[in-house]
Amino acid sequence: MSDIEYKVIVGLEIHVQLCTQSKMFCGCALSFGEQANSRVCPVCLGMPGVLPVMNKQAVEYAVLAGLALNCKIAEFTKWDRKSYYYPDLPKNYQISQYDLPLASNGYIEIPIEDGQAKRIGIIRAHLEEDAGKNLHATGNFSQVDLNRTGTPLLEIVTEPDMNSAAEVRLLAVELQRMVRYLGVSEADMQKGHMRFEPNVNLVVTKDGREYKTPIVEIKNLNSFRALERSVDFEIQRQLDDFLETGRVMESGNKSTRGWDDERQITVLQREKEEAHDYRYFPDPDLVPVEIKGDWLKEIESKLCELPLKKQLRYVTEYGLSDYDAGVLTAERSTAEFFEQVVAEGGDPKRACNIITQDLMKAANEKGCSVAELGVSFKGVAELCKMVERGDVSATASTTIAEIMVTKGGDPEQIAREHNLTQTSDAGELEAVVDQVIAENPKAVEDVTSGGKKSKKARGFLLGQVMQKTKGQANPRIVSEILKRKLD
Amino acid sequence: MQELTAKQLRNKIAAGHVSGVDATTEIFNRIEKFEPAVGAYISTFKQKALEDAKAVDEKIAKGEALGQLAGVPVAVKDNMCTTFGATTCGSKILQNFHSPYNATAVRKLLDADAVIIGKTNMDEFAMGSSTETSGLRKTVNPWDTSRVPGGSSGGSAAAMAAKMCFAALGSDTGGSIRQPASFCSVVGLKPTYGRVSRFGLVAYGSSLDQIGPVTNNVEDAALMMNVISGYDKRDSTSVNETVAPVCDYLEKLNESIKPLKISIVPTFNAGADEQVQKALNEALKVYEGLGAELIEIEMPHIDYAIAAYYVIATAEASSNLARYDGVHYGHRTENPKDYIDVYSQSREEGFGKEVKRRIMLGTYALSSGYYDAYYLKALKVRNLIRQDFSRAFEQCDCVIMPVSPTTAFKIGEKISDPLQMYLSDIYTIAANLAGIPAVSIPCGFDNENLPIGLQILTPPFTEDKLLRIARMYESQKDWNIKKPPIVDSK
């Protein structure tokens, strides 16, 4: 046992639902949770005689995602029919892309430790229409809900470049953040907007020889947690299986396992990969798509700085911690709000504190994003400057931010109205300090004696000054004066 | 009234000389009289048609603007979706299927104030050349009731020949408008692929299918083309009018094309029956008499047209017909064992022999390992045939050839020999593969008094020219005046 090592190999097949106004090939609105079969028309129902019409917005979203994934965008692409019979597929073929995917040969970077990034290869990304849902109620029949039928999906296939469950999760989170940034998907896993199917196997080194375990595809994953745990489970299961049976990868022994979230295990669904013949051929109802020239340029112009790049830049450019940079860049609008505050002269670290602590707390309570709080970036920049100048304390800044959220208004005015400004005028404060020293000889003695009580006494004197100034003294300056007078 | 053309009828109705209701009533009288013998219709809508005709009459009474087909009783092939009646495609699997929407071509007829009187019989899913594969009805040729009307638009051609409508729509995937038109001595036009919207036409071979008119004469074909042509945003393969503008096909219809250069392919035409060749040559002499120049050409790839067609059309059909599975609509088997059984038994019971044969052929052609050898190769042949035509059109205005190698054959004669049946499409298929417009016009009768058709083909989107060339011949030889015996005797 001691001379066994193994390497984890994971590739992902990902389906991302694009948040277009209407379905891929008809005018029906996208839906989630509506009454079954209420968002359908003759086209997505596959009625006799209907014809699909391509949704241009879906193509633009897919190209945008392809560009963000550093893919080569196909100048000429087309639609193919993929044939298989299933009740949730009314035409019994899916309109997809076979040999000329819209995007190919790209990569996505995922953040690994210490602000480092790892590249995961993207083999291809193509557009297709989603199927409906079979509903298996009780009784000897099943029902079909076709609301989802025809929803535009971007299918992304990665290289098997991930080497741990943690990396799989990081990729999923990064991809979610990316597509949300681009505004091409809501990317809500619970709603099935993003579906991940990991292909997992191990390269086991035993007695100096390498063995590859059979590939397993995992399905039914509807959270990042399930994704990570299922891969971890599968790693252990495959290792155990290999040690017990010595089974290795052969042609045709790829299997499919479903994740059972309750039992936290994968369960065998399909033993052998079926020899599917999808009989792909170009869809004669649709014309090929040429993505080039002005159209491509127009799509390219919608590309923004991607979240990971932003995050790394915040660390190097603004000296923020990787954690804070991650929090700020989780949502595009928040990151943009932050950048506006900084551009307006707000100190990056101060701005980060106000946004990640005060504003995000309020946003979470309201169930909206920071940018939607109604607080202006100019106001926040001003607040940053006030704290930096010492006009208000950090504590007061939280109060001011709260009022800016609840009642609105200019931070300086709020500070004045609520007596939240602090005095940093050394001359003015010196007089108060002198008075306090005169009134509290015992405490002064404790400080000067330098014993155990010194620190406490110093705090007491500071407190007295704050009390006399009704909390408006700048504590940093008071401390300095005290230090000068007593040490 | 039955002697009137559709255009004449429309003008008489518009002028108030004939009422729309009278025209429709007259047509239903004729349907009552001849339909039992002919069997052209799968369904008729007498009550609705009379209401629609009445609405036209009311429009006239109010002096409202009238459509180009105001009050004209029109028949529609039963593979075009209508919100009224069933849309069966001549198949048991769709026998009770009611469409929730109208095909664009149907909507355009209605917008032009046409009165749709019924849906005509056809080969099941348009797969056939005799209307014998219909799973619902038998249609005979009004010129000889022991013979087929041709197919797949046999119902439309027979209804037109027996004057049980004033005009009809058919669809043509490999000759399905032109061949029955020639068998029944009517005019049938297959427009350029993309000229008429396919939205609502139940697909057979999507890259070949095209809706077109079946009429008594060339002028009515032009009139129908005026109504049904044009870009449709619901059909991505319909051609944008900025690329190929739709024109008024009636405007210059009677102006001859001068000079007129006609290409013929003697080696190819030699495959037709002697009497068909004779009629063709006489028709060419008519054109020569009008000053046309004949050019003999070769079309090196046209011999492969049938092979390419039966791969492409069946491949597309195998996919297009996959949706008829008993799950969502149409025939469903009664006691399926499981869901696979719902598919296999529903399809087993719902589809006829020829449809199953073509689905299997197409499935095979698209299968992994065979795709390159069949489908891809067929597409290459298709391109070569397209090139044959574009090369021909560099030096001529049109190509003229027979429509069918024979006149109407006997019912039952070819139905058990699919290959013989397929070969009857030899002259019509090339136009579908090349996507070009082609028309069949009557050009005489054989010595059994069976009609013979003349086929004219022109470059893409030149239906105006095509109709004018056809009209040149028709103005010299009006075979339309002759009536089929079944109509004449009663």
What integer pLDDT is reported at residue A274 of this predicted model?
Answer: 64
Q: What is the mean pLDDT of each run of 10 residues along chain A (487 residues)?
A: 85 98 97 92 98 98 98 98 96 97 98 85 98 85 93 98 97 96 95 96 94 96 95 97 94 92 94 80 97 96 94 94 93 95 96 95 93 94 92 88 93 89 78 88 84 83 85 82 83
What integer pLDDT is reported at residue A23 of this predicted model?
Answer: 98
C-alpha A376/C-alpha B341 separation (Å) is: 64
C-alpha B194/C-alpha B461 separation (Å) is: 9
Residue B233 is nearest to which of A45, A53, A284, comparing CB atoms? A53
Residue B439, strand partner residues: B189, B456
Chain B residues whose beta carbon lies within 8 Å of the beta carbon of residue A90: 323, 327-328
Chain A residues whose beta carbon lies within 8 Å of the beta carbon of residue B323: 46, 48, 90-92
| Token pair of A289 as six digits | 């798509």
**Nearest partner of B231 among B242, B223, B221, B222, judged by Cα:** B242
Sorted by sequence, the CB contacts under 8 Å of residue B29 that are 6+ apart come out as none
Query: Residue written as tokens 């919100």?
Result: B83
Cis peptide before B259 (omega within 30 of 0): yes
| Token pair of A445 as six digits | 């003695």
What integer pLDDT is reported at residue B466 of this predicted model?
Answer: 98
Chain A: closest CA distance from residue B245 (Å): 19
Domains observed in chain B? 6-257+460-488 (3.90.1300.10)
Chain A: closest CA distance from residue B467 (Å): 28
Chain A: closest CA distance from residue B323 (Å): 4
| Token pair of B457 as six digits | 């083909």
C-alpha A279/C-alpha B369 separation (Å) is: 10
C-alpha B242/C-alpha A14 separation (Å) is: 41
Hey, is the C-beta of B302 within 8 angstroms of any chain A C-beta?
no
Residue type, B274: E
> Are B437 and B458 contacting, i.e. CB atoms less than 8 angstroms apart?
yes
Residue type, B189: L
Chain B residues whose beta carbon lies within 8 Å of the beta carbon of residue A286: 236-237
**Nearest partner of A12 among A275, A271, A269, A194, judged by Cα:** A194
| Token pair of B94 as six digits | 């769709």
Residue pairs spanning A and B at CB distance below 8 A? 96
C-alpha A336/C-alpha A68 separation (Å) is: 18
Crossing angle between the packed helical segments A475-486 and A441-449, to the nearest 10 degrees: 70
- Main-chain phi, psi angles of A263, to 5 degrees: -90, -5
Task: Give the best residue of A24, A26, A28, A51 to mutate against chain B (max B CB count within 10 A).
Answer: A51
Domain A426-486 fold: Arc Repressor Mutant, subunit A (1.10.10)
**Nearest partner of B358 among B325, B322, B331, B326, judged by Cα:** B322
C-alpha A369/C-alpha A360 separation (Å) is: 8
Domain spans of chain A?
A: 4-295, 307-417, 426-486
Q: Which of residues 70-89 of A touch B (CB under 8 A)?
A: 81, 83, 85, 87
Chain A: closest CA distance from residue B3 (Å): 35
**Nearest partner of B463 among B286, B264, B280, B210, judged by Cα:** B210
Are B99 and A49 a contacting pair at CB < 8 A?
Answer: yes
Hey, is the C-beta of B375 within 8 angstroms of any chain A C-beta?
yes
- Main-chain phi, psi angles of B358, to 5 degrees: -70, -35
C-alpha B308/C-alpha B267 separation (Å) is: 20
Chain B residues whose beta carbon lies within 8 Å of the beta carbon of residue A47: 81, 99-101, 329
What integer pLDDT is reported at residue B472 of this predicted model?
Answer: 98
**Nearest partner of A461 among A424, A487, A427, A423, judged by Cα:** A487
Query: Residue written as tokens 């597929």?
Result: A89
What integer pLDDT is reported at residue B490 of this predicted model?
Answer: 47
Q: Is B77 a catalytic residue?
A: yes
Sorted by sequence, the CB contacts under 8 Å of residue B323 that are 6+ apart come out as A46, A48, A90, A91, A92
Q: Spell out where A229-277 has E strands.
A: 255-260, 265-270
Residue A48 is nearest to which of B99, B235, B366, comparing CB atoms? B99
Are B323 and A48 a contacting pair at CB < 8 A?
Answer: yes
> Are B280 and B269 contacting, i.e. CB atoms less than 8 angstroms apart?
yes
Chain A residues whose beta carbon lies within 8 Å of the beta carbon of residue B382: none
Q: Is B176 a catalytic residue?
A: yes
Query: Exposure of B275 by Cβ count < 10 A (0-12 exposed, 13-18 middle, 19+ buried)?
Result: middle
Hey, is the C-beta of B328 within 8 angstroms of any chain A C-beta?
yes
- Strand B261-264 versus strand B398-402 pairing type: parallel
CA distances from residue B349 to A138, B203, B324, B344, B415 in whole angstroms, order as listed: 28, 20, 11, 9, 20
Tally helices (H) and strands (E) across chain B: 17, 11
Q: Which of B176, B182, B318, B404 is catalytic?
A: B176
What integer pLDDT is reported at residue A275 of this predicted model?
Answer: 66
Residue B73, strand partner residues: B115
Are A287 and B202 a contacting pair at CB < 8 A?
Answer: no
| Residue A56, number of CB atoms within 10 A of its CB | 11
The pTM (predicted TM-score) of the whole model is 0.91
**Nearest partner of B393 among B254, B305, B299, judged by Cα:** B299
C-alpha A419/C-alpha A370 separation (Å) is: 26
Are B200 and A49 a contacting pair at CB < 8 A?
Answer: yes
DSSP structure class, residue B480: G
**Positions in chain B whose pLDDT score sits under 50:** 490
| Token pair of B6 as six digits | 């559709």
